[in-house]
Amino acid sequence: MTAREVPTYCRICEPLCGLIATVENDRVVRLRPDRQHPLSQGFACPKGIAFTEVQNDPDRVLYPLRRIANGGFERVTWEVALDEIGARLRAILGEHGRESLGWYFGNPSTFSYSHTLWLLGFQLAAGLRHVYSAGSQDVNNRFVASELLYGSLTSVPVPDLDRTDFLLMIGANPVVSHGSVVSAPRIRDRLTGITKRGGRVVVVDPRRTETARLFDHVGVRPDTDAWLLAALLQVIFAERLEDAAALRDQAAGVAELRSAVARFTPELTAPVTGVDPDVVRALARDLAAARRAAVYGRTGTCLGRHATLVAFLIDALAVVTGNLDRPGGSVFGRELAAVSQLNARLRLLGYDQKRSRVGDFPDVLGTFPATIMAKEITTPGPGRLRALFTSAGNPVLSVPNGDELSAALRQLDLFVSIDLYLNDTNRTADYVLPATTFLERDDAPLPFTGLAPIPYAQYTEPVVRPYGEARQEWEIIDAIASRIGVQPFAFGPARPGGRALSALRRRLPGGGAGLRVRPRLLLDLALRTGPYGDLFGLRRGGLSLAELRRHPHGLVLGEHVRTGVLRHVVRHRDRRVRLAPPQILAELHALADTPTDPGYPLRIIGMRELKSHNSWMHNAESLIARREHAARLHPKDAALAGIADGDRCRITSAHGSIEVTARLTEDLTEGTIAVPHGWGHRGGWRRATAAGGVNVNLLMSSEITDVERLAGMAHLNGVPVRVEAVTTEQI
């Protein structure tokens, strides 16, 4: 049979690079970068190319599996799996109510519009309380900061990379991560473009990263960005460098913020952050003087004890220097579909609309901190989590204290996982249901266009039919929901948008009662009624699914994002950015350095590597070959502990201990040790399991008191540890 070449796009990480898939006999035999993609223009990283190895992996789960007595799995039909799950669910819900049912959705779910949409429908229709996601290990603090600043959880400014003269980048390593919470293919070129235009990029990071090497590096002590940012604001206010006109125009609470940061002089903060007062002053002055500047932070600023405060101060700095919502500044993208607007209007998901049973944490977009999931399973009482679904997640490796979670999962009455693999979490599930890969489903970059400095859209059909008996998540969710009498998209006239949808359904071929709404139909509706939509013909040249199909390599929707949109973004009544909400003033007031415990003199941080992707791409031969899981530490710290390069070392925190190979490098600031997460596999992915390594999150705390209060963020960066040599006798 002849080969076909199909344009599609990668859905492993946020730039969503264009790919060309070669398909032979209904199998994907090759992936290569798409030169015709208008933004990625022939770029794809090694992971995107290696996805064929995931697609064709013999370790992939391709049939529904049911756990058997000896701990292994047996193949069952879909019908048996779904009927048994349905029956067990009905029994659990009958006895303990809806509150006993929960869901954890992991990072890859974000890249599938149909998965997230159906989960949302299920969550709302079933009144699900126990909802958890990778967000509490990733980005929820960023959303809460936006809620406090703009009154809109999902309005997140992104750096206008192609027009800025000065980028202050805090705790991000886009040269390796390819950019996150900013969707910009070829981000390395976009960053070097800034310096080529005569601008500057300053990278604040405890490690001289692959990104920091290309630009100016400020080494900071882990988990102290709040002090550094407060000091930058202090200097700007004290030296009257703020943009008074912008503040008058855009903000409320300026005087309160000014007085709240007044005590954070660079001299006060230097012993905490390790950043010299002269460096802080120069940085504040340069930022304020830059014609067009953007301030951007990512996971390095999200996983500490003050995560929401830090995200808040990052935007505050942009506002105070007059760089919010200005060309070349921190700008707001425009979503493909009016999801945020709709959500805000209907108040579907928000912030602090409910509180968790354990720990009394506010929800963020309907989710609670995944760190407390284990305790929600083990803590007796009404509302105890008894039946859990996971989809596209591996929380045993991604949340603090995976051993506690692993043990808790065994106490569930029912545990079902939807995944590509038997991973380190679902290896003890009652059922593992095979999901399609992204090459086996249709898609559009729904949430990501809103984070793109150059707006674009793309629609891809499935490149191949599902392998084996894999099914799309939405189909599985639909099937499970129907067995407990829940319909994710049963739009009756009483529901929002119900009348229109019911009418639409009736008009479809074969429509009427009993017809399921398919995601594709909702996508088309969302596109057509969205900001770029064709409004069913009212706006010529506007977007629809049909229009996107005419551009299989993707479509750029404008040269740059629009600016001057703040009044539409801000949902506070006065349409002003709030610079002094009480939660933030309280955090600033209480900010106090934790004295170093001599028992744990170092601080541990994470580290992403080009050929790893969180916990799930270690089974691809081309990515894992000749790699090791290793800690990086400064030679001076190593010498103090008697550790040489290549030695085994033991890292111990107040919560756990791991052993790993040590690699010495002067890239780390002294006192910091870096260990990648997502290693230490024990699942059905044989090559990944054979690769060795350990779960670094065994060092992290799942105590309620260690979870960040405002957004429920896990404390994964800047955790105090000590390091020791492992002597041969101990091995």
Ligand X SMILES: Nc1nc2c(c(=O)[nH]1)N[C@H]1C(S)=C(S)[C@@H](COP(=O)(O)OP(=O)(O)OC[C@H]3O[C@@H](n4cnc5c(=O)[nH]c(N)nc54)[C@H](O)[C@@H]3O)O[C@H]1N2
Beta strands in 625-714 (DSSP E): 630-633, 648-652, 657-664, 672-674
Name the closest residue to ligand X (Cβ). Answer: 300
In the bound state with ligand X, the residue whose beta carbon lies nearer, of 12 and 251, is 12
Q: Which residue from 160, 156, 126, 164 is spatially nearest to 138, judged by alpha carbons? A: 156
Distance between CA atoms of 365 and 347, rounded to whole angstroms? 10
Which of 10, 119 has the CB closer to ligand SF4? 10
* Residues forming beta bridges with residue 28, ordered by sequence position: 23
Q: Is 623 near ligand SF4 (CB under 6 A)?
A: no
Instruction: Decide: helix, strand or coil at residue 130.
Output: strand
For residue 31, state whether it binds ligand SF4 (rule: CB under 6 A): no
The token pair that represents 333 in the structure block: 């993208």
The b-or-e profile of 434-443 (16+ CB within 10 A means b, else e) is bbbbbbbbbb
Q: Binder to ligand X among 155, 423, 449, 702 (CB under 6 A)?
A: 423
Of these partners, Mo ion, ligand X, ligand SF4, none, which one is at the site of residue 10 (CB under 5 to 8 Å by kind)? ligand SF4
What are the backbone dihedrals phi and psi of residue 406, each rounded to the nearest 5 degrees, phi first?
-55, -45
Work out whether 618 is an interface residue with ligand X (CB under 6 A): no
Tokens 């800047």 belong to which residue? 718
Among 273, 356, 614, 701, binds ligand X (CB under 6 A): 614
Q: How far is the CB of 12 from ligand SF4 (least distance, A)?
A: 4
x/- site string to ligand X, residues 253 to 292, per CB under 6 A?
A: ----------------------------------------
Burial 284-317 (b: 16+ CB within 10 A, else e): beebbebebbbbbbbbbbbbbbbbbbbbbbbbbb
Tell me if residue 529 falls in helix, strand or coil.
helix
Question: Which of 418, 439, 463, 673 touches ligand X (CB under 6 A)?
Answer: 418
Cα distances (Å, whole numbers) of residue 701 to 531, 654, 695, 707, 722? 43, 8, 13, 8, 15
Q: Considering the complex, what minimum distance in angstroms separates the CB of residue 273 from ligand X?
A: 9
Work out the number of other CB atoms within 10 angstroms of the CB of residue 492: 10
Token digits of residue 268: 């006060």
374 phi/psi in degrees, rounded to 5:
-60, -45
Q: Which of 7, 8, 10, 712 binds ligand SF4 (CB under 6 A)?
A: 10
From candidates 21, 28, 34, 47, binder to ligand SF4 by CB under 6 A:
47
* Tokens representing residue 178 in the block: 């390819």
- Site membership for ligand SF4, residue 39 (CB under 6 A): no
Residue from 129, 142, 163, 178 touching ligand SF4 (CB under 6 A): that is 178
Whether the Cβ atoms of residue 632 and residue 702 lie closer than 8 Å to each other: no
- Under the criterion CB under 6 A, does residue 371 sit at the interface with ligand X? no
- 18 touches ligand X by CB under 6 A: no
Asked if 250 is part of the footprint of ligand X (rule: CB under 6 A), the reply reads no
Q: What is the number of other CB atoms lying within 10 angstroms of the CB of residue 582?
A: 10
12 contacts ligand SF4 (rule: CB under 6 A): yes
Least distance in angstroms from the C-beta of 575 to ligand X? 31
Query: How far is Cα 731 from Cα 728, in angstroms, rounded to an integer?
Result: 5
Q: At which residue do the structure tokens 């007595």 appear?
A: 69
CB of residue 136 vs ligand SF4: minimum separation in angstroms? 23
Neighbours of 515 (CB within 10 A): 12
Alpha carbon distances (Å) from 178 to 145, 182, 211, 215: 23, 9, 10, 16
Contact between 608 and ligand X by CB under 6 A: the answer reads yes
Q: Which residue is nearest to Mo ion (CB)?
A: 138
- Least CB distance to ligand SF4 at residue 219 (A): 27
Per-residue binding letters, 196-215, with ligand X (x by CB under 6 A): --------xxxx-x------
Figure out which of the listed residues 39, 44, 194, 261 binds ligand SF4, where binding follows CB under 6 A.
Answer: 44
Q: Which stretch binds ligand X (CB under 6 A): 168-176, 324-332, 454-462, 633-641?
A: 168-176
Element (H, E) at 309: helix 307-320
474 binds ligand X (CB under 6 A): no
User: Considering only 150-158, 176-184, 325-333, 373-381, which stretch makes contact with ligand X by CB under 6 A?
Assistant: 176-184
Note the residues at the interface with Mo ion (CB under 5 A): 138
By CB under 6 A, is residue 691 in contact with ligand X? no
Tokens 């809620």: give the residue: 147
Chain positions contacting ligand SF4, by CB under 6 A: 10, 12-13, 15-17, 44-45, 47-48, 178
Chain positions contacting ligand X, by CB under 6 A: 13, 106-108, 134, 137-138, 170-174, 176-178, 180, 204-207, 209, 220, 222-223, 225, 298-301, 304, 391-395, 398, 418-421, 423, 435, 437-438, 473, 605-606, 608, 610, 612-616, 677-678, 696-697, 716-718
